[in-house]
Amino acid sequence: MVRLWLTRLSLALALAALFAACFPGSRLPAEDWPADWENAATGAREVLGRMIGMYPGSVQPAARKLVDSFLAEAKQLSDKRAGLLNHRDTLAAAELDTGLEKVRQQSGELARRLDPALADDRSVIRLSGQTTERNVDAAVGSTAVIVHRQGERDAPPAFAWRHIDLASGERERSVEPPPQANYYAVLELVNAIPGSNDYTFHLGADTVKLKVTAPERYRVRVTLLGPDGAPTEAAVGLYAAGGQLLTPDNALDFGAGGFAYRPVNWREHNNTRFWPGAAAHLTRCFFVRGGFSIPLPAGGYRLIVTKGPEFLPADMTLEVKPGDETRQRVQLKRWVDMPAKGWQSGDCHIHYQRSSREANQRLLLWSRAEDLRMNNILRMGDARETYFEQYAFGSRGRFLAPGTAFVPGQEDPRTAVMGHTIQLNLQAPVRDPSHYYLYENIFEQTRRQGGLAGYAHVNADLFNVHRDMTLNVPLGNVDFAEICEFGYIKTGLWYEFLNLGFKLAAAAGSDAPWGGTVGDSRVYVYTGRAFSADDWFSGLRRGRTFVTTGPMLELTVDGKLPGDEIRLAAGRKLRVHSAASAGYLNQPMGTLEIVVNGTVVRSRPVESGRAGLDFDLPLEHSAWVAARTGGAHTTPVYVTIAGERHWARERAAELIATREKQLGEIEALLDRDNATGQGWRGAWESPEAWRAGRERVRESIATARSFYQRLRAEAAPSK
């Protein structure tokens, strides 16, 4: 039940994050929300959610209860809107518009209820054109307060965030108010000077006087070491008693990451299954190299340090005493060394802007803090434009350091009609906006230049990715499917294609910045030797992979690795070996299972983070054999007996019918000019490109239908 709940939560978060990225109307800056009630709800969710996450102790209990309730309802409405948009091309225009209008009205009603309740809360500073005074406790040197300016009655409020650094000692300053007459602004006060100090802030015609009280702070120095005793990069969480994340000056800043990144020095670890703070909702972390120094008031703090799933996390209490400098040495320990076994970690789905080579040093800190070796940095595209630009592709675009590689690729084409694709190891970008929905062209060009082609979001079948898979997987120019993302694995769609006899390597990616941190969902590729980018791509192409959110997983069938094919003249027993292990996970692994054509044939409970299976598997017909456990799954070993297709023959008719039905889905869209969406709903689509490619798509449907008809005949029992 715990794993199911976490999976559903992660999926909901993923959907909300992805749709916020893909639909421009939902990603306006918090300082510029237009004045209507739906945007008031969105702005409140953005600003108040940020305040609760960063300064949980700054909100009084009554206001906290109110804000938490609002955030929960607002999220439900956001998920409902995302669901409507995901199915927009299968809904009648009137049905879609009615559904979206209902969500809009409900969002507005939610904001209307929040406005008077929040304005009446005593923790909110009300502005009235006169001077308002308030005492503020900055218990750890920083805090946040809410100020409210009431404009016209029943006018929707704006929500804004204002960062104020008190370190300079300047006691009076102007703070730009939002342009709207009715607004809430969160004033973030950082680096408060110890003692009680008076500050005056002018927000237009309003004046706020704050007496900010902060305790004396003492220097804390933390040293981070690897197993060899040398300074190392790591992900760190340092939390005050109320759960507030405290970040040092040398923490990695994400402001230069490009589209959808914020200028903050922390990331979410909410999808990271090897992070100890998840159960206590301490999921934010920062990234440093070698250690950090920070001034803190006397008291106890929780310190978490991790370096990816191959290292045991450090989780301790840090005691800061008055007067003396506090020093803490943290040496991380490996519980497993996968590179020594020939397995190299990677992330197939990272977005980060590399407009110049300077970006590589920022990425190097982040990647090594998560112990991630292969980093596929994807330029992202839609039918209109591209994002997360790279300074070069091919050998000039690669960045190589000992044990680490950044290689440019793309997530493009990327539509809600046919799904999102990923192209790896590109020598040059591949793009055709005028025929954007003809994915086959992109796959062919990718593979001609030595790249690999695959699909994103297969684990959740997001953005109707099943459609293009149904069209293009039979053509044999697709290498992998992303079945592990956002901290969970789901295999239903992938299994459908495996059970029809197709080979698709299991791949994984974080989808950062929307997925949290790099490598929270990762793929291990067997190279059998020291790390090399070219060997890694060769191994992925061969399917020598397993995906994971933390556990390590082994599988051999008659000594063959995942992705290998065993050819036999007749059926016989095959020797299966599998092992699952984990150093630390914040969710259970459950059981280790061997699946043959999607059916579990042998299992063993995972106890104390370990489980193993060794047995003889009799096979009379061709099949695929894979291993899985909670949080990890291998690519299959393919067994071909007497030349027969490795498939679930007894289920073939049902699976082929599903594929034919999905071809019909696409066919039904071809005569609809608005299949890609109209107006703001189609901001990342191109009706023109859809119309231009319709006849070619019809040809592809005919080719795919003929292929499935041949499969149906092959699956029919002989008379």
Secondary structure (3-state) at 453: strand
Judge whether 172 lies within some domain. Answer: no
Q: Where is 219: in which H helix or E strand?
A: strand 217-225
Q: Residues, the chain, total?
A: 719
Mean pLDDT, residues 685-702 taken together: 93
For helices 465-472 and 652-670, give the axis angle rounded to 10 degrees: 110
* Residue 663 vs residues 223, 467, 469, 666, 704: alpha-carbon distances, Å: 58, 7, 10, 5, 8
638 and 601, same domain (yes or no)? yes
Judge whether 422 lies within some domain. Answer: yes
* Residue 472 vs residues 418, 477, 504, 537, 648: alpha-carbon distances, Å: 11, 7, 12, 21, 20
Q: Where are the alpha helices (DSSP H) in 87-198?
A: 93-120
* Nearest Cα residue to 367 out of 248, 234, 487, 484: 234
* Residue 7 vs residues 49, 519, 626: alpha-carbon distances, Å: 22, 17, 21
Neighbours of 367 (CB within 10 A): 29
Q: Is the pLDDT assigned to residue 441 strictly greater than 70?
A: yes
Neighbours of 558 (CB within 10 A): 17
341 and 458, same domain (yes or no)? yes
Which stretch, 17-21, 30-34, 146-150, 395-399, has highest mean pLDDT? 395-399
DSSP 290: S
Half-sphere exposure of 677 (CA within 13 A, CB side): 22
SS3 content of the chain, % helix, strand, coil (to 5): 30, 35, 35
- Mean pLDDT of the residues in the chain: 91
410 and 494, same domain (yes or no)? yes
Residue that terminates a domain, selected from 647, 671, 686: 647
Residue whose structure tokens are 């595209």: 381
Range in 7-11, 452-456, 593-597 with the lowest mean pLDDT: 7-11
563 and 510, same domain (yes or no)? no
User: Could you read off the pLDDT of 416-425 as tens digits, one per residue?
Assistant: 999 999 999 9
Q: What is the pLDDT of residue 675?
A: 73
* Nearest Cα residue to 117 out of 53, 48, 58: 48
Domain containing 78: what range?
2-120
User: Could you read off the pLDDT of 659-686 as tens digits, one per residue?
Assistant: 999 999 999 999 887 677 643 345 678 9
Q: In this structure, are residues 489 and 633 in contact, taking their beta carbons and an 8 Å threshold?
A: yes
Range in 15-24, 340-349, 529-538 with the lowest mean pLDDT: 15-24
Q: What is the pLDDT of residue 42?
A: 87
Q: Are strands 158-165 and 195-203 parallel, antiparallel or unpaired?
A: unpaired
Amino acid identity at 488: Y
CA distance 183 to 203: 11
Query: What phi and psi, each to the nearest 5 degrees, are found at residue 423?
Result: -120, 125
680: left (phi over 0), alpha (psi -120 to 50) or beta: alpha
Judge whether 143 lies within some domain. Answer: no
Confidence of residue 529 (pLDDT cuts 50, 70, 90): confident
Judge whether 187 lies within some domain. Answer: no
CA distance 107 to 42: 8
**Residue 24, token pair as written in the block:** 């421009």
Kindly write down the DSSP assignment for every residue of 177-244, as one continuous string: PPSSSSEEEEEEEESPPSEEEEEEEEETTEEEEEEEEE--EEEEEEEEE-TTSSB-EEEEEEE-TT--
Mean pLDDT, residues 358-372 taken together: 98
Q: What is the pLDDT of residue 27?
A: 35
Percentage, residues of the chain above pLDDT 70: 93
CA distance 66 to 119: 11
Residue that terminates a domain, selected from 647, 665, 691: 647
pTM equals 0.92
Q: Are strands 284-289 and 299-306 parallel, antiparallel or unpaired?
A: unpaired
Secondary structure (3-state) at 375: strand
Q: Is the pLDDT assigned to residue 539 strictly greater than 70?
A: yes
Q: Is the pLDDT assigned to residue 6 strictly greater than 70?
A: no
Residue that terminates a domain, selected from 623, 647, 671: 647
Q: Are strands 404-411 and 374-381 parallel, antiparallel or unpaired?
A: parallel
**For position 456, which CATH number holds?**
3.20.20.140
User: Could you read off the pLDDT of 450-487 as tens digits, one per residue?
Assistant: 999 999 999 999 999 999 999 999 999 999 999 999 99
Q: In this structure, are residues 590 and 629 in contact, taking their beta carbons and an 8 Å threshold?
A: yes
* Residue 376 vs residues 250, 348, 645: alpha-carbon distances, Å: 26, 5, 33
pLDDT higher for 717 or 267?
A: 267
258 and 326, same domain (yes or no)? yes
Torsion of CA 540, 541, 542, 546, to 10 degrees: 30
User: Could you read off the pLDDT of 149-186 as tens digits, one per residue?
Assistant: 988 777 888 999 999 999 988 999 999 999 888 899 99
540 and 560, same domain (yes or no)? no
Confidence of residue 306 (pLDDT cuts 50, 70, 90): very high
Q: How many domains does the chain have?
A: 5
Judge whether 313 lies within some domain. Answer: yes
CA distance 704 to 699: 9
Q: Is the pLDDT assigned to residue 9 strictly greater than 60?
A: no
Q: In this structure, are residues 360 and 354 in contact, taking their beta carbons and an 8 Å threshold?
A: yes
628 and 675, same domain (yes or no)? no
Percentage, residues of the chain above pLDDT 90: 75
Mean pLDDT, residues 638-650 taken together: 96
Q: Are strands 452-455 and 419-424 parallel, antiparallel or unpaired?
A: antiparallel
* Nearest Cα residue to 311 out of 555, 582, 513: 582
CA distance 328 to 223: 6
SS3 for 507-543 is EEECCECCCCCCCCCEEEEECCCCCCHHHHHHHHHHC
Q: What is the pLDDT of residue 60?
A: 75
392 and 524, same domain (yes or no)? yes
Q: Which residues lie closer than 8 Å to 628 by C-beta, 6 or more apart?
A: 489, 491, 553, 592, 593, 595, 634
CA distance 496 to 566: 21
318 and 445, same domain (yes or no)? no
Q: Is the pLDDT assigned to residue 10 strictly greater than 80?
A: no
Q: In this structure, are residues 220 and 248 in contact, taking their beta carbons and an 8 Å threshold?
A: no
Query: E-strand spans in 332-403?
Result: 333-334, 343-350, 374-381, 386-387, 399-401
Q: What is the pLDDT of residue 80?
A: 86
CA distance 375 to 365: 12
How buried is residue 639: exposed, middle or buried, by Cβ count under 10 Å (0-12/13-18/19+)? buried
Q: Are strands 125-127 and 143-149 parallel, antiparallel or unpaired?
A: parallel
DSSP 711: H
Mean pLDDT, residues 554-570 taken together: 98
Q: In this structure, are residues 637 and 566 in contact, taking their beta carbons and an 8 Å threshold?
A: yes
Mean pLDDT, residues 374-378 taken together: 98
469 and 345, same domain (yes or no)? yes
Judge whether 461 lies within some domain. Answer: yes
Q: In this structure, are residues 354 and 390 in contact, taking their beta carbons and an 8 Å threshold?
A: yes
Q: What is the pLDDT of residue 209?
A: 96
Q: In this structure, are residues 328 and 223 in contact, taking their beta carbons and an 8 Å threshold?
A: yes
535 and 557, same domain (yes or no)? no
Secondary structure (3-state) at 638: strand
Secondary structure (3-state) at 102: helix
Confidence of residue 19 (pLDDT cuts 50, 70, 90): very low
2: left (phi over 0), alpha (psi -120 to 50) or beta: alpha
Confidence of residue 88 (pLDDT cuts 50, 70, 90): low
Instruction: Give the distance between the most distant pair of CA atoms in the chain.
Output: 93
Judge whether 561 lies within some domain. Answer: yes
For helices 61-86 and 93-120, give the axis angle rounded to 10 degrees: 170
329 and 381, same domain (yes or no)? no
Q: In this structure, are residues 234 and 307 in contact, taking their beta carbons and an 8 Å threshold?
A: yes
CA distance 695 to 74: 42
**For position 567, which CATH number holds?**
2.60.40.10
Secondary structure (3-state) at 404: strand
pLDDT higher for 623 or 90?
A: 623
Mean pLDDT, residues 530-534 taken together: 95
Judge whether 157 lies within some domain. Answer: no
Q: How many helices (H) and strands (E) does the chain have?
A: 13, 40
Neighbours of 353 (CB within 10 A): 19
Kindly write down the DSSP assignment for every residue of 545-580, as one continuous string: EEEESS-EEEEEETTBPTT-EEEESS-EEEEEEEEE
